[in-house]
């Protein structure tokens, strides 16, 4: 089955800096890659996703890049703010049969003022 | 529009007992997913129900089971509870297919003593 590795497990940055979280996946058939943000004590929420027919997607300060050849994708947050502090999860799935999302173990991002 | 709801919020059981957790999806969603979130292990996929049928199952023992009702709500049952079953159990719903955004509920915190 699919295996998703996520790094780093924790990331501390100063407000205004950029943050990058990287994920690798094992199943070359995977073609959908969402990112979820989970604030402390709250439920995970989708912040951005990318499908395999594009290499990059942006939404304001957040961007995701995908390298299908290398089987890795990354989340980029620019101009970080304290409210970006949360745990971020990457995931992967493929559009066949009854495939489900496989999540990485998460990255705790701490943005210091 | 109401989001995904789960009950109870907290559940305390002793080893060997059974636990029943409930989830109501967003209106119009037919898929319900169950995840276990234990500390440091990210989101571990448990079960996926769609249109009343079990579509996929994660790498968990058979004492984890569930069902989906005609109104698409779902129940997760955990038999013969073990201490390591203590975790946050999250339910998510989506339109049919894993490539649709999954909306998470607030979770049920299960503590096994």
pLDDT tens for residues B8-47? 999 999 999 999 999 999 999 999 999 999 987 789 999 9
User: What is the pLDDT, as a whole number, of residue A90?
Assistant: 97
Burial of B56 (0-12, 13-18, 19+ CB in 10 A): middle
Residue A8, preceding bond cis, omega within 30 degrees? yes
Q: Span B96-111, mean pLDDT?
A: 84
Euclidean distance between CA atoms A97 and A51, whole angstroms: 17
Q: How far is A95 from chain B (nearest CA, A)?
A: 7
* Residue whose token pair is 């990354």: A74
Residue B35: beta bridge partners?
Answer: B45, B90
Kindly indicate the confidence band of residue B1, based on its pLDDT and cuts at 50, 70 and 90.
low
Of A7, A48, A54, A4, residue with least CA distance to A27: A4
Q: Which residue of A has its CA nearest to B91?
A: A43
Q: Tell me, what's the pLDDT at B99?
A: 65
Rounded (10°) CA dihedral A41, A47, A102, A105: -50
Looking at CA atoms only, how far is residue A35 from chain B in angstroms? 10
Q: Find all residues with CB under 8 Å of B45, minimum gap 6, and list them.
A: A100, A101, A102, A103, B33, B34, B35, B56, B58
B48 band by pLDDT with thresholds 50, 70 and 90: very high
Q: Which of B56, B58, B44 is nearest to A105 (CA)?
A: B44
Pairwise CB contact (< 8 Å): B42 & A103 = yes
Establish if A89 touches chain B: CB-CB under 8 angstroms.
yes
What tens digit of pLDDT does each residue of A5-36 get? 999 999 999 999 999 999 999 999 999 999 99
Whether residues A106 and B106 touch (CB distance < 8 A) is answered with: no
CB A32 within 8 A of CB A46: no
Tell if the CB–CB gap between A98 and B106 is shorter than 8 Å: no
Write down the pLDDT at residue A54: 79
Of B45, B104, B106, the CB nearest to A100: B45
Phi then psi for A41, rounded to 5 degrees? 75, 10
Nearest to A39 by CA among A88, A5, A96: A88
Inter-chain touch A89–B98, beta carbons under 8 Å: no
Which of A6-15, A16-25, B66-75, B95-104 has the lowest average pLDDT?
A: B95-104
Q: What is the mean pLDDT of chain B?
A: 93
Cβ distance B43 to A89 less than 8 Å, yes or no, reads yes
pLDDT at site A95: 73
3-state helix, strand, coil in chain B (%, to 5): 5, 50, 45
Tokens 């996926």 map to which residue? Answer: B48
CB contact under 8 A, A43 and B40: no
Of B83, B48, B51, the C-alpha closest to B66 is B48
**What is the pLDDT at residue A53?**
79
* pLDDT score recorded for residue B98: 53
For B36, the closest chain A residue by CA position comes to: A103
CB B10 within 8 A of CB B112: no
Report the C-alpha gap between B24 and A50 in whole angstroms.
28
β-bridge partners, A51: A32
Q: Cα separation of A103 and A35, whole Å?
A: 9
- Per-residue pLDDT of chain A (113 residues), as tens digits, is 889 999 999 999 999 999 999 999 999 999 999 999 999 989 999 999 998 877 899 999 999 999 999 999 999 999 999 999 999 999 999 876 677 899 999 999 999 99
- pLDDT top residue among B10 and B98: B10
């Amino acid at each position: 089955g699919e295996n998703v590795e996520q790094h780093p497990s924790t990331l501390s940055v100063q407000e205004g800096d950029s943050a990058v979280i990287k994920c690798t996946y094992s199943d070359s058939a995977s073609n959908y890659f969402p990112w979820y943000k989970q604030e402390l004590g709250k439920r995970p929420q989708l912040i951005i996703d990318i499908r395999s027919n594009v290499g990059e997607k942006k939404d304001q300060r957040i961007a995701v890049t995908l390298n299908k050849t290398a089987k890795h994708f990354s989340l980029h947050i620019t101009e970080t703010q304290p409210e970006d502090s949360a745990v971020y999860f990457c995931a992967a799935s493929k559009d066949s049969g009854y495939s489900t999302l496989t999540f990485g173990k998460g990255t705790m991002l701490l943005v210091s003022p | 529009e109401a989001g995904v709801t789960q009950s109870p919020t907290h559940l305390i059981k002793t080893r060997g007992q059974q636990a029943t957790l409930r989830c109501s999806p967003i209106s119009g969603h037919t898929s319900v997913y169950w995840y276990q979130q234990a500390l440091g292990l990210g989101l571990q996929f448990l079960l996926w129900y769609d249109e009343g049928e079990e579509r996929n199952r994660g790498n968990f023992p058979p004492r984890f089971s569930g069902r989906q009702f005609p109104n698409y709500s779902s129940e997760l049952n955990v038999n013969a509870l073990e201490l390591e079953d203590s975790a946050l159990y999250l339910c998510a719903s989506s339109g049919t297919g894993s490539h649709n955004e999954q909306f998470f509920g607030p979770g049920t915190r299960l503590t096994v003593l």
